[in-house]
Amino acid sequence: MGQKPPPKDRESMTVAALEDEIHRHNRLYFEDNAPVISDEDFDRLVRRLRKIKPDSPILHEIPSDTKTSIKGFKKIRREVPMLSLDKCYSEKELYQWAEKFEGDVMGSPKIDGSAVELRYDEKGHLSLAATRGEGIEGEEITENVKRIADIPQKIPPHPPLPKGGQFPCSYPPFSKGGEGGLEIRGEIYMRLSVFRTFDQDFANPRNLAAGALKQKDPDMTKKYHLSFFGYDVLGVDLQTEGDKKALLERLGIPTVPMEVVQKKEMQKFYEKLLTQRETYDFETDGIVFKAFEIKEQGRLGMTAHHPRYAIAYKFQGDSGTTRVKDVEWSVSRTQVITPVCIVEPVRLSGASVSRASLHNVGLMRQHGLRIGSQVMMVRRGGVIPYLESVIEEGRGAPMTLPEKCPSCGAPTEVRDDFLYCTNKENCFGTRIGVLEHFVKAMEIDGFGRKLLERLYETGLVKDPADFYRLKSEDLLDLERMGETLATKLIGNIRARRRLPADQFLRALGIRELAQHASRLLIQHFHTLDRLMEATEGEIAALHSLGEVIAREVVSGLRAKKGLIARLRRSITLIGQQVSQEKKGPLAGLKVCFTGTLGALSRPAAQKKVEEAGGEAVNTITQDLAYLVIGKQGGGGSKLSKAQALQKKGASLQILDEDRFWGLLKG
């Protein structure tokens, strides 16, 4: 904080100044998890130094994540170092790199996570996991990694090689005498859908995942629901990157979405993944290309810093610097008053951004934010833009906290790092936030914030149960409301009278009760009625929940008992009783409907799926079996997401309504 960024004219910097800056920014990024310049700005420094002093030792510096280690993590040395990737930012640089070898390339999204190695012994048991560290030496995190569901604790001890896998791999086994042993390398990351349950408190998924991975109590790691992608295998004789992918899949290891790409198609592949980026459930800041043939990789070799056979082609425009103009205050459904930073417009991910979340007042104070501060803004993976760091404090007035709620005028109070409105029951902003959360969680389309404000102000909707008492004629007196729109809105409400119990539970807006916890609670207690009778001890005993969530669930359900009773007069909960073994033609399969159905209403269609043993869902996920398009049309964003997943290799089928019902009858 308060440190100035490198001069915009890097041409004027001396070798010593460039080396100092590169070393400092390596430390800030890898050791402190607190970068103050964008990746692109950092790489410009590196390219400038490489041009004027190509033999500078700082170019071969391998930053370490072990210097921030927690006492108790043992150091692990490896024979084959885990190196960084060289980077490029233009089509010209990419094709200059590709001229150095023969054959195709393997292309995949660059996952923004924590690189790790997994060692499996000759019997197939996971014997060790370690961080990347500085390349040669990392830290053992075996017990923590065993809490990550994506990572198998046992693999087949003698898996069959992929067809044609005969070429001697250039990597040796991970230890002497380790015949049959296998080493897998990959990336531990946090899915964006998981991160969104934390994003009021943490800046980005990468930092949160890195911290979760180094919990002293391994059971704490499991609470963060981390994920894993494998991308490399050592200790096996293989011929191509395709062989590696096939072997990883045979071992039950999730793999990075990857495709074989002809050299001449690399730019097209880059542009395709750039357009698909918003559909991914992980952060990606570029594309990794590797020479496809292992023999070509062996011929190219590696430097002390990076392999010559791989390169990261980085996306641009994901971060940028700007200046702070003001701070506005937004009141949430939980009474938290959140600062929103207003900045001079800056382009991120192809869009002009002038607002960014500061998450909480603790971060605002930590940044030392002032009017005129120069800041770095970041937008990753579809997450809303946020302020990453303050580069220059500025000379304007420091930001002060409002003493009164900007929505209702009630006194405010600070608890921990959060600012709260003290008007718990009647704050306008909080009430609108409750209604907004409800319609989003229930997937009731058409009710934006402005409409919700008008409904609340006119007294038509004061709490979520009031939605189900609305009639189309009630809406006609509202500004810009016609009969067609009013009828459609009421239809959207009626379509959500039958829904899964866990979705209903999530829509209640109880603090700490997100998608994972809601589903787990219904799976364990089977019905909402039984859950409402559960004690804090019973809930806390469930793995991955704990005392805090248990306390919030019990107190929240008690406080919302009246609302729940009113809602259940209009809503039917499905899927409360969790069957141990589903039977029927759709047993174990997930089905999602989109668009307007012709043969049946949406609830009736979902009921037929459940009667056939399937699960009717409302979101597009990797494990979806069927997306059914209504014969009246309107596939929308669900269709686009499903098509993107198909292109990445997902096995889901997209069917029209008639074909699906015909398939079910057959």
Active site residues: 110
CA 646 to chain centre: 19
d(CA 202, CA 196): 10
d(CA 441, CA 490): 17
- Beta bridge mates, 477: none
Residue in the block written with tokens 């459904």: 333
Residue in the block written with tokens 């084959």: 80
- Give how far Cα 230 sits from Cα of 111, 188, 246, 247, 427, Å: 11, 9, 11, 11, 48
Buried/exposed code over 112-151 (b: 16+ C-beta within 10 A; e: otherwise) = bbbbbbbbbbeebebbbbbbbbbbebbbbbbebbebbebb
d(CA 269, CA 271): 5
Residues 6+ apart with CB under 8 A from 544: 222, 223, 225, 516, 520
- The H-or-E segment that residue 326 falls in is strand 319-331
d(CA 138, CA 58): 20
Residue 619 · residue 631 · CB < 8 Å: no
3-class secondary structure per residue, 489-504: HHHHHHCCCEEEHHHH
- The H-or-E segment that residue 415 falls in is strand 412-415
Residue 101 · residue 272 · CB < 8 Å: no
- Cβ neighbours of 646 (radius 10 Å): 14
Residue 627 · residue 617 · CB < 8 Å: no
How big is the chain, counted in residues? 666
Strands 418-421 and 336-348: antiparallel
Name the DSSP class of 30: I
Residue 533 · residue 553 · CB < 8 Å: no
Among the residues of 157-285, which ranges form H helices?
Answer: 192-195, 205-213, 218-222, 241-250, 266-276
Residues 6+ apart with CB under 8 A from 620: 592, 627, 638, 641, 642, 645
What tokens appear for 390 in the block?
């303050």
207-214 CB contacts, 8 Å cutoff, 24+ apart: 207/33, 209/113, 209/114, 210/33, 210/65, 210/114, 211/33, 213/114, 213/116, 213/131, 213/141, 213/144, 213/145, 213/188, 214/69, 214/70, 214/73, 214/139, 214/141, 214/144
Main-chain phi, psi angles of 631, to 5 degrees: -70, -15
Residue 338 · residue 330 · CB < 8 Å: yes
d(CA 296, CA 301): 9
Residue 412 · residue 405 · CB < 8 Å: yes
